Chain A
Amino acid sequence: MPLIFDIAITHIAGRGRQTLVAVIGVAVGVGFSIAMAALMQGGQDDFVRQLVDTMPHVDITDEQRTARRQPAEDAFATVAISGLRPRDDRRGIINPTAATSWLESWLPGRFAASLKAQGVIRYSSREVGAAIIGIEPERESGVSPIVGDFVEGSFSALAAGGNNVLIGDTMASRLGAGFGDTITAVSSEGLTRNFKIAGLFHTGTTARDEGEAYVLLKNAQILSARPNAINEIRIKLDDPNRAPAVAHRAEAELGYKAVAWQEANESILEALVVRNVIMYTVVGAIMLVAGFGIYNIISTITHEKARDIAIMKSLGFPESDMRRLFLLEGVAIGAAGSVLGALLGFSMTYALSLVRFEIAATGQEMTRLPIAWSLMHYVIASAFALGSAAVAGYLPARRAARLNPVEIIRGAS
């Protein structure tokens, strides 16, 4: 074996230019596979991350999956009751303290209770319909999508207490109000209350920037005349993938509708499956093309060495040595190319991650290309290249080794 190894090394080293071309060919294939995989997967991950980040992982609301049975339906065994005046239940999550302390005991993540009420924000005779959301700032900061997105003021302004409100910048401009102005909130109960704008946020989600106003929980409770009530518990988990299990458990225990983000975005996730298939197809196609390139280069080299195979056979080398020799050469070129290709892929991926561009006409948001850094890409691309190189060395060598050396020796004259 050391002899075969020596011959392989000398063969490879002796054909400097050809070897270099082959190694670069492998490297380019590996490098592009890695860079494309990083980009495709990065885009995918980024899409899911944006989806997951902007919404709670599990959303518990004061609704039920099926309409509540009316007392009359329990009292009388009838087929249908008409003209019933339904009982007006107290809205909101009943016994919120018990619910929150129960969640606290086991939840692998963070949660925040809030009261969401429909209302109108009024400023200098302009009105905008809004969801007035009452929050507890310390808890909310672990869950909220707006904490890091402030254009003016900050989230902590709410914690300071007082009649402060946080609204989106789009709503502010529609109202004509600015930071520090005092607006009036009107609830569906008809109650009004004045709030000072203590922060403007811009999340990029239009519905949120235009239609949500955050106030302290007790202010929202006063405004909607529902003391101590909450009607929504939003949960962020450490691992978003556990959301369905958590939602199931919460719904079973609390009796309220608990929706995991996967359930809320079913159609988008279905589209994502299609995207996944497209991604794997594209990356697979790139690797296949690269693999063929590698096969082509190395099998050409092996074919050119058919004469050497005949010579060595005439000297007394058995066929198995010849197969081993060219397998070794293919693998050596494949390995060198994979190492170089991994470096190339890394640099290309890095270069792609530096690309910045503006999104949206506003020109406010600068975005980088989403890149996924995964060792798996390198492993798969290298393994694939190594495999193609091995096959490319082995198959032609096997054919050449089987060939009667006489045919090649005669052909040379």
Chain B
Amino acid sequence: MSALIEAEKLTRVLPETVPVTLVKDITLAIDEREFVAVTGPSGSGKSSLLYLLGLLDRPTAGTLRIGGRDTEPMNERERARTRLSMLGFVFQFHFLLPEFTARENVEIPMRKLGRLARPEMRERAGELLSSLGLGEHLDKRPDQLSGGQRQRVAVARSLANDPPLILADEPTGSLDSKSSEQVFAILENLVRERGKTVVAVTHDLDMAARMDRRIHIVDGKIG
């Protein structure tokens, strides 16, 4: 069985006057149910790698297969569709839509995918948020929630369409230690209990040590 993510010689160069190489010749494979940390100093290119894996950015060279499918020939619409159904993102900042309630934020990806009926979406969003301890905050808007709560809403949103792969970019980077621990436990739980694959960029080495596997990036290369 093929791996969930297969990257071969993935390279991303910014076409500035002096070209900047963000990611260079990265070859890796990540299997299902893996809990992977991407570590490295700031500016090493670990976030850039994550954006490439998440189809938010296009590689300059190399190939990337997600779920066995080559992403190279996909157009913008197909890439968006893949993000919607296969991937979930959690960023350092929650990046919730500020005008919508927690539940609506979780419902939006479901409504875009349109696989469920409206009442089911509503129910599922409520369940997801409740399972992350936010059962009492369903109808609050992001500015009425604490940092940790917002981040948990973001995790719930990433799970909205039940994607096999969750990509997290410094998910605990802007949280205090208690909330960090909470969010980490949730991510770990996703892998152990729900069978997800989680790839998290972090510079917290303690946290990385508790994950299944560590990919260390230095100057855009695996080091």
Do residues B108 and A315 form an inter-chain contact, with CB atoms below 8 A?
yes
**Chain B, Cβ-Cβ closest to A407:** B57
| A-contacting residues, B89-122, CB 8 Å | 89, 91-93, 95-100, 104, 108-109, 111-113
CA distance A313 to B83 in the complex (A): 9
Do residues A315 and B99 form an inter-chain contact, with CB atoms below 8 A?
no
Contacts of B56 in A (CB 8 A): 313-314, 404-406, 409
Which residue from B48, B84, B97, B169 sits with its C-beta under 8 Å from A308?
B97
Stretch from A205-213, A316-324, A362-370 at the B interface: A316-324
CA distance A307 to B51 in the complex (A): 16
Do residues A406 and B99 form an inter-chain contact, with CB atoms below 8 A?
no
With A314-B54, A406-B56 as known contacts, state yes or no: A412 contacts B93, CB within 8 Å: yes
CA distance A140 to B92 in the complex (A): 90
Stretch from B32-40, B74-82, B176-184 at the A interface: B74-82
Contacts of B109 in A (CB 8 A): 315-316
Q: Is A103 an interface residue (CB 8 A)?
A: no
Do residues A317 and B112 form an inter-chain contact, with CB atoms below 8 A?
yes
Q: Is A85 an interface residue (CB 8 A)?
A: no
Q: Is B151 an interface residue (CB 8 A)?
A: no
Q: Is B149 an interface residue (CB 8 A)?
A: no
Do residues A315 and B112 form an inter-chain contact, with CB atoms below 8 A?
yes
With A10-B100, A15-B99 as known contacts, state yes or no: A317 contacts B93, CB within 8 Å: no
Do residues A316 and B112 form an inter-chain contact, with CB atoms below 8 A?
yes
Q: Is B172 an interface residue (CB 8 A)?
A: no
| B-contacting residues, A302-350, CB 8 Å | 307-308, 310-321
CA distance A230 to B111 in the complex (A): 87
Q: How far is the CB of B222 from chain A (nearest CB, A)?
A: 21
Q: Is A7 an interface residue (CB 8 A)?
A: yes
Do residues B77 and A314 form an inter-chain contact, with CB atoms below 8 A?
no
CA distance A405 to B97 in the complex (A): 15
Q: Is A14 an interface residue (CB 8 A)?
A: yes
With A3-B112, A406-B51, A410-B47 as known contacts, state yes or no: A316 contacts B98, CB within 8 Å: no
Q: How far is the CB of A198 from chain B (nearest CB, A)?
A: 79
Q: Is B85 an interface residue (CB 8 A)?
A: yes
With A314-B54, A318-B77 as known contacts, state yes or no: A10 contacts B47, CB within 8 Å: no
Contacts of A310 in B (CB 8 A): 95
Contacts of A412 in B (CB 8 A): 93, 95
Sorting the interface of chain B by its residue count into under 10, 10 to 19, 20 to 34 or 35 or more gives: 20 to 34
Q: How far is the CB of B109 from chain A (nearest CB, A)?
A: 5
Q: How far is the CB of B3 from chain A (nearest CB, A)?
A: 22
Which residue from B83, B95, B100 sits with its C-beta under 8 Å from A316?
B83
Interface residues in A, total, Cβ within 8 A = 29
Contact digits for A1-27, partner B, Cβ 8 Å, 1 yes 0 no: 001001100110111000000000000
CA distance A310 to B100 in the complex (A): 16
Do residues B99 and A311 form an inter-chain contact, with CB atoms below 8 A?
no
Q: Is A101 an interface residue (CB 8 A)?
A: no
CA distance A6 to B93 in the complex (A): 25
Do residues A315 and B84 form an inter-chain contact, with CB atoms below 8 A?
yes
Contact digits for A157-197, partner B, Cβ 8 Å, 1 yes 0 no: 00000000000000000000000000000000000000000
Q: How far is the CB of B27 from chain A (nearest CB, A)?
A: 22
Q: Is A82 an interface residue (CB 8 A)?
A: no
Contacts of B82 in A (CB 8 A): 316
Do residues B80 and A311 form an inter-chain contact, with CB atoms below 8 A?
no
CA distance A13 to B98 in the complex (A): 12
CA distance A26 to B44 in the complex (A): 48
Contacts of B100 in A (CB 8 A): 10, 14
Do residues A413 and B92 form an inter-chain contact, with CB atoms below 8 A?
yes
With A311-B97, A405-B56, A406-B57 as known contacts, state yes or no: A3 contacts B91, CB within 8 Å: no
Do residues A14 and B99 form an inter-chain contact, with CB atoms below 8 A?
yes
Q: How far is the CB of A412 from chain B (nearest CB, A)?
A: 6
Contacts of B108 in A (CB 8 A): 3, 7, 312, 315
**Chain A, Cβ-Cβ closest to B109:** A315
Which residue from B81, B95, B111 sits with its C-beta under 8 Å from A311?
B95
Contacts of B92 in A (CB 8 A): 413
Do residues B84 and A316 form an inter-chain contact, with CB atoms below 8 A?
yes
| A-contacting residues, B61-86, CB 8 Å | 76-77, 80-85
**Chain B, Cβ-Cβ closest to A4:** B112
CA distance A413 to B94 in the complex (A): 11
CA distance A311 to B76 in the complex (A): 16
**Chain A, Cβ-Cβ closest to B97:** A308
| A-contacting residues, B16-66, CB 8 Å | 47-48, 51, 54, 56-57
CA distance A102 to B85 in the complex (A): 86
Q: List 29 A-B contacts (CB under 8 A).
A: A3-B108, A6-B111, A7-B97, A7-B108, A10-B100, A10-B104, A11-B99, A13-B99, A14-B98, A14-B100, A308-B98, A311-B96, A312-B97, A314-B56, A314-B83, A315-B83, A315-B84, A315-B89, A315-B109, A315-B157, A317-B112, A318-B80, A318-B81, A404-B57, A406-B57, A409-B169, A410-B47, A412-B93, A413-B93
Other than A319-B80, A321-B112, A413-B92, give 16 A-B pairs with Cβ distance below 8 A: A6-B111, A14-B100, A308-B97, A308-B98, A313-B56, A314-B54, A314-B89, A315-B84, A315-B89, A316-B85, A318-B76, A318-B81, A406-B56, A406-B57, A409-B91, A409-B169
The 6 closest A-B pairs by CB, nearest first: A316-B84, A14-B99, A316-B83, A318-B80, A3-B111, A318-B77
